[in-house]
A and B are shown apart, each in its own frame.
Chain A
Amino acid sequence: MKQENTIMESKNFRPLDLKKKIRPGESVIQTLLFISGILSIFITIAIVYELGKEAWLFFGDPEVTLVKFFGGTKWSPGIGHFGIWPLVTSTLVTSAIAMLVSLPLGLSAALYLSEYASPRARSTLKPVLEILAGIPTVVYGYFALLFMTPLLQKIFGEQVQVYNMASAGIVMGIMILPLISSMSEDALSAVPRALREGAYAMGATKFETSIQVVLPAALSGIGAALIIGISRAVGETMIVAVAAGAGPNFTFDPFQAAETMTGHIARISGGDLSYNTIDYTSLFAIALMLFLVTLVLNLISQRVVSRFRERYE
Chain B
Amino acid sequence: MNPTHNHFPEGPSFRSALNTRYRVASVWQVLFFSALLIAIISLTALIYDVVDGAFGYVAYDYKKDPATFTSTPLEDLTKEELLTILQANLSSGAYNKLNNEKAMETRLQGELYTLFFERLIQLEIKKTWSFTESIMRAGAIRTEAAEKYPDAKLEFRSWLTPQFLTSPMSSKAEFAGVRTAILGSLWLVGIALLFALPIGTGAAIYLQEYAPKNWLTGIIQTNINNLAGVPSIVYGMLGLAIFVRVLAPLTSGSMFGITDSNGRTVLSAGLTMGILILPLIIINAQEAIKAVPDSLRQAAYGVGATKWQTVWHHILPNSIAGILTGSILALSRALGETAPLIVVGASTFISVDPSGPFSKFTALPIQIYQWTTRPQSEFHAIAASAIIVLLVMLLTLNATAILLRNRFQRKY
Which of A4-12, A75-83, A137-145 has 4 or more CB atoms under 8 Å from chain B? A137-145
Taken together as a complex, chains A and B put the C-alpha atoms of A116 and B22 apart, in Å, by: 15
- Closest CB of chain A to B287's CB: distance in Å? 14
Q: Is A294 close to B, CB under 8 A? A: yes
Taken together as a complex, chains A and B put the C-alpha atoms of A26 and B311 apart, in Å, by: 11
Q: Count A-B contacts at CB 8 Å.
A: 242
Taken together as a complex, chains A and B put the C-alpha atoms of A270 and B222 apart, in Å, by: 33
Q: Is B40 close to A, CB under 8 A? A: yes
Residue pair B390, A139 in contact (C-beta under 8 Å):
yes
Taken together as a complex, chains A and B put the C-alpha atoms of A87 and B36 apart, in Å, by: 33
Residue pair A136, B336 in contact (C-beta under 8 Å):
yes
Residue pair A145, B372 in contact (C-beta under 8 Å):
yes
Residue pair B25, A266 in contact (C-beta under 8 Å):
no
Residue pair B230, A291 in contact (C-beta under 8 Å):
yes
Q: Is A94 close to B, CB under 8 A? A: no
Q: What does DSSP make chain A's interface, helix, strand, loop or mixed? A: helix
Asked if A139 meets B237 with Cβ closer than 8 Å, knowing A34-B206, A44-B226, A262-B231, the reply is: no
Residue pair A290, B390 in contact (C-beta under 8 Å):
no
**Which chain B residues in 192-250 approach chain A with CB under 8 Å?**
198-200, 202-203, 205-207, 210-211, 219-220, 222-227, 229-234, 236-238, 240-242, 245
Taken together as a complex, chains A and B put the C-alpha atoms of A266 and B39 apart, in Å, by: 29
Q: Is A39 close to B, CB under 8 A? A: yes
Taken together as a complex, chains A and B put the C-alpha atoms of A139 and B242 apart, in Å, by: 29
Q: What does DSSP make chain B's interface, helix, strand, loop or mixed? A: helix
Residue pair B32, A109 in contact (C-beta under 8 Å):
yes
Residue pair A287, B223 in contact (C-beta under 8 Å):
no
Q: Is A50 close to B, CB under 8 A? A: yes
Residue pair A109, B46 in contact (C-beta under 8 Å):
no
Which of B91-99, B274-282, B352-360 has 4 or more CB atoms under 8 Å from chain A? B274-282
The chain A residue sitting closest to B207, CB to CB, is A37
Q: Is B87 close to A, CB under 8 A? A: no
The chain B residue sitting closest to A49, CB to CB, is B241
Residue pair A287, B237 in contact (C-beta under 8 Å):
yes
Q: Is A32 close to B, CB under 8 A? A: yes
- Closest CB of chain A to B329's CB: distance in Å? 8
Which of chain B's residues have a CB closer than 8 A to the CB of A100?
Answer: none
Asked if A287 meets B234 with Cβ closer than 8 Å, knowing A40-B279, A269-B240, the reply is: yes
**Which chain A residues in 25-66 approach chain B with CB under 8 Å?**
25-26, 29-30, 32-34, 36-41, 43-44, 46-47, 50-51, 54
The chain B residue sitting closest to A50, CB to CB, is B241
Which of A192-200, A233-241, A249-257 has 4 or more CB atoms under 8 Å from chain B? A233-241
Which of chain A's residues have a CB closer than 8 A to the CB of B28?
Answer: 207, 211
Which of chain B's residues have a CB closer than 8 A to the CB of A207?
Answer: 24-25, 28-29
**Which chain A residues in 220-244 approach chain B with CB under 8 Å?**
228, 231-232, 234-238, 241-242
Residue pair A139, B368 in contact (C-beta under 8 Å):
yes
Asked if A132 meets B39 with Cβ closer than 8 Å, knowing A41-B220, A46-B242, A262-B231, the reply is: yes
Residue pair B22, A205 in contact (C-beta under 8 Å):
yes
Taken together as a complex, chains A and B put the C-alpha atoms of A283 and B372 apart, in Å, by: 24
Which of chain A's residues have a CB closer than 8 A to the CB of B24?
Answer: 205, 207
Which of chain A's residues have a CB closer than 8 A to the CB of B275?
Answer: 43
Taken together as a complex, chains A and B put the C-alpha atoms of A234 and B199 apart, in Å, by: 29
- Closest CB of chain B to A105's CB: distance in Å? 4
Residue pair A142, B384 in contact (C-beta under 8 Å):
yes
**Which chain B residues in 1-59 approach chain A with CB under 8 Å?**
21-22, 24-25, 28-29, 31-36, 38-40, 42-43, 45-46, 49-50, 53
Which of chain B's residues have a CB closer than 8 A to the CB of A283?
Answer: 237
Residue pair A138, B36 in contact (C-beta under 8 Å):
no
Which of chain B's residues have a CB closer than 8 A to the CB of A214?
Answer: none
Interface string of A282-313 (1 = CB under 8 A from B): 01100100110011011100100000000000
Taken together as a complex, chains A and B put the C-alpha atoms of A266 and B369 apart, in Å, by: 11
Which of chain B's residues have a CB closer than 8 A to the CB of A137?
Answer: 336, 338-339
Asked if A266 meets B343 with Cβ closer than 8 Å, knowing A26-B308, A290-B233, A291-B234, the reply is: yes
Which of chain B's residues have a CB closer than 8 A to the CB of A232?
Answer: 229
- Closest CB of chain A to B396's CB: distance in Å? 12
Asked if A136 meets B337 with Cβ closer than 8 Å, knowing A33-B205, A37-B206, A129-B39, the reply is: yes
Q: Is B307 close to A, CB under 8 A? A: yes
- Closest CB of chain A to B339's CB: distance in Å? 4
Taken together as a complex, chains A and B put the C-alpha atoms of A290 and B241 apart, in Å, by: 16
The chain B residue sitting closest to A173, CB to CB, is B42
Asked if A298 meets B231 with Cβ closer than 8 Å, knowing A40-B282, A138-B372, the reply is: no
- Closest CB of chain B to A240's CB: distance in Å? 10
Which of chain A's residues have a CB closer than 8 A to the CB of B409?
Answer: none
Q: Is A119 close to B, CB under 8 A? A: no
Q: Is A97 close to B, CB under 8 A? A: no
Interface string of A90-109 (1 = CB under 8 A from B): 00000000000000111111
Q: Is B288 close to A, CB under 8 A? A: no
Further 6 A-B residue pairs, CB within 8 A, beyond A43-B227, A125-B36, A231-B229: A109-B35, A132-B42, A136-B336, A207-B28, A265-B233, A295-B230
A-B contact list, 17 entries, CB within 8 Å? A26-B308, A36-B200, A43-B275, A131-B43, A132-B43, A134-B332, A136-B336, A136-B338, A136-B394, A138-B372, A142-B49, A142-B380, A142-B383, A205-B25, A265-B233, A269-B236, A290-B233
Binding site for A on B (CB under 8 A): 21-22, 24-25, 28-29, 31-36, 38-40, 42-43, 45-46, 49-50, 53, 198-200, 202-203, 205-207, 210-211, 219-220, 222-227, 229-234, 236-238, 240-242, 245, 275, 278-279, 282, 306-308, 332, 335-339, 342-343, 345, 348, 365, 368-369, 372-373, 380, 383-384, 387, 390-391, 394, 398
